[in-house]
A and B are shown apart, each in its own frame.
Chain A
């Protein structure tokens, strides 16, 4: 079995086992081009690893947990996270470890290397995996290299790679990964050449940065750019960069640093070097017989070729694929930091002030016509914020993922979501609201007379002090039955709030915070102890960023809910006016306008339920065991409370299982009463999962058709370890 191959030994038949990148490098080396020392770990090593450890089938079980096409990208990310953790936690079988280690030691001793992915599926013309699989720079020593080989293998199953493979129709069961281990040349300058400009076939392009190439490839360092004439091989234009940073080797990896002042004033290449480099690249193009995208570095005045691949964007078939979008799901640390700045200093204050301004307006004084206009206006404002939510708030959630990945890399935890415990903050808006609810319930629990008065709905007898507190609560958090994203039905009065309070008061108090927080400190200490110096500072910074992301996942909906509540307030006003209209009164034009506005808002598409079809036939299909994503460990049996609309929450009973399409933070006030949570929407970082983790409740997400397959009152069992919901008692 050929687990490793020297670049010089790679034969044309080996393309399938060394992958596109390694094969191109081998050809370059064999043709006499200057390349760094290279060793190929073949896809057979990958297959030996996943075959001997059972990992191959574990990955397939994970990917086939439900139909891949039914998974949201958040679920796919979860899938990828779990798979990555499996790779990190599964040691190499001894025979493979010994075999690889020996080769690596002989070849590289303690030299710094790059460990790069080389996908056999990448055929260079139709599909390009550039950027989808991982590569690691500046890795030193056989053990570290072996660990990074596993990480590169795991990146075969990254969310972006999975989505892309689905799109171009590659069979996941046949996927395998080869790895290139390449000596790192610490270049003074590096860059990329397009031997043919994708935008103009008569030109070539060279881009260059100081230091390592990673800054350019990932977009964190702006390159100098030269346009060349393909025929005459002359420079047509030079666009200098604002040279401020470079990527340099640092401990076990690389880092972005400020560029020394003496370098920032001059380009990384002189004209002579640009021409020499382009001539070299054109030779490479001739060898491969197609225009190339060449990565290079300049070390001790000598150019070396790091990799070369055909320019895929030249072909029309590949140019309309979605790879760029999948890649955009992953934001860089720097990008997330500026996004945070924007969200905190601009967006949230603006959301609060918009809601306040709208709240101050006295709608009762508007004419019908003005009210209709105001509803339209508020709907537009609401929509504008919903758009911002999708464009900025959701991408910011990637901070949580970035942190999760770092945590799992360092800690190799059994539970790939253990990192979420480090993110819990008690100052989340929904937690604050639930604490306020608990306090109000406590008042009722300790005052039997008050409880009796509320039960009999004799509010006028209850103490004014209590009512003042209720009013403060409503002012701060809104009427629980009203503030729901997407809902238009409000119950007038505070009855639903009293019902919930009575239900909470009738049962022993629960506290979410005491459960987790004591663990968090030691967990954090252990995590941060794995770093020193600058890396530690970065870890602290990332943790802080992720905490903010986690908190925002909850709070942003609350802020958004406040704006929507103002839209709903106007709708409510219109409804009241229409209802009050004396019977038989002729519709005025203005009322029609109002009615039309409301009709427009009330439109809700109906989701067909496939399981209802055929009920009149002589058989019935019934769900027994539904599989979703395990999103909160634990096991609970309870009666299903299927929430179709927000008003269903008002009579939530202690011990019921909350079953819904999508939990939003405005609904989570019933969570202290629930025994488990089941949700149609899938993912580990959605609100249902976050809040379930806070309260230690079993939670299963990603159950397709949860609210139609599970009927109100069904007895259901929620297995949050395996991600299974079982209906009924299983009579046979």
Chain B
């Protein structure tokens, strides 16, 4: 396996094992962080999450589509410092509309089946984050980047 493939595989594995991500949005220069349940495509180019349309995070995305997400496997122990992996994604967010919404939602709900009622509400938005770059931190301070063209 090539180094780049290995790197991608590490991210894919992390995304399969983790349910939640920290989403960073902003309004008028003020950053804002929220917890979201995410799903990513195998090619890692898209990250998806669901939010009610009445939330701050969704308002923020509507006025500024640039966002970041943090996914990590830390377990709140000392060993996290050498063992855990954290991946930051930066990209553009937009609400995904039909017809794509229905298909993506099926995948999303396969990972988070208990969110069915929430995600199917007409007042919930399925947000598509088109990822530009991943930053992966491992072994405490080793940082690698994955750029999409």
Chain A interface (Cβ < 8 Å from any Cβ of B): 53-58, 60-61, 625, 633, 635, 717, 719, 721-722, 724, 726, 729-732
Contacts and interface: CB of A to CB of B under 8 A. Distances in A.
A721 B122 contact: yes
Contacts of A57: 113-114
Nearest to A717: B54
25 contacts: A54-B112, A54-B113, A54-B114, A54-B115, A55-B113, A57-B114, A58-B114, A633-B122, A635-B122, A635-B123, A719-B52, A721-B124, A722-B52, A722-B124, A724-B52, A724-B54, A726-B54, A729-B59, A730-B56, A730-B59, A732-B27, A732-B30, A732-B32, A732-B56, A732-B60
A61 B37 CA distance: 14
- Is the contact region of chain B dominated by helix, strand, or loop, or is it mixed? mixed
Contacts of B121: 719, 721-722
A412 to B, nearest CB: 15
Interface in B106-127: 109, 112-118, 121-124
Contacts of B109: 54
B55 interface: yes
Contacts of A55: 113-114
Contacts of A635: 53-54, 122-123
Interface string B26-54: 01001010000000000000000000111
B118 A53 contact: no
Contacts of B124: 721-722
Contacts of A625: 54-55
Contacts of A726: 54-55
A699 to B, nearest CB: 14
A686 to B, nearest CB: 21
Chain A CB within 10 Å, residue with most, of B54, B59, B117:
B54
A721 to B, nearest CB: 4
Interface residues of B, number: 22
B17 to A, nearest CB: 17
A497 to B, nearest CB: 35
A721 B123 contact: yes
Contacts of B27: 731-732
Nearest to A89: B116
Chain A CB within 10 Å, residue with most, of B109, B114, B118, B122:
B114
B56 to A, nearest CB: 4
Chain B CB within 10 Å, residue with most, of A57, A58, A60, A722:
A722
Nearest to B31: A732
A4 to B, nearest CB: 25
B122 A61 contact: no
Given A719-B54, A732-B27, A56 B118 contact: no
Contacts of B123: 635, 719, 721-722
A730 B32 CA distance: 11
B123 to A, nearest CB: 5
Contacts of B54: 625, 635, 717, 719, 724, 726
A717 B58 CA distance: 14
Contacts of A717: 54
A710 to B, nearest CB: 15
A61 B113 CA distance: 12
Interface string B109-149: 10011111110011110000000000000000000000000
Contacts of B112: 54
Chain A CB within 10 Å, residue with most, of B27, B32, B115, B122:
B122
B104 to A, nearest CB: 17
B118 A722 contact: yes
A97 B134 CA distance: 42
Nearest to B30: A732
A85 to B, nearest CB: 10
Given A635-B122, A730-B59, A732-B27, A53 B113 contact: yes
Nearest to A729: B59
A58 B55 contact: no
B23 to A, nearest CB: 14
Nearest to A62: B117
A56 B114 contact: yes
Contact of A54 (B59, B116, B122): B116
Contacts of A722: 52, 118, 121, 123-124
Give the 7 A-B residue pairs with the shortest CB-CB distance, closest first.
A54-B113, A57-B114, A721-B121, A730-B56, A54-B114, A58-B114, A726-B54
A729 B109 CA distance: 30
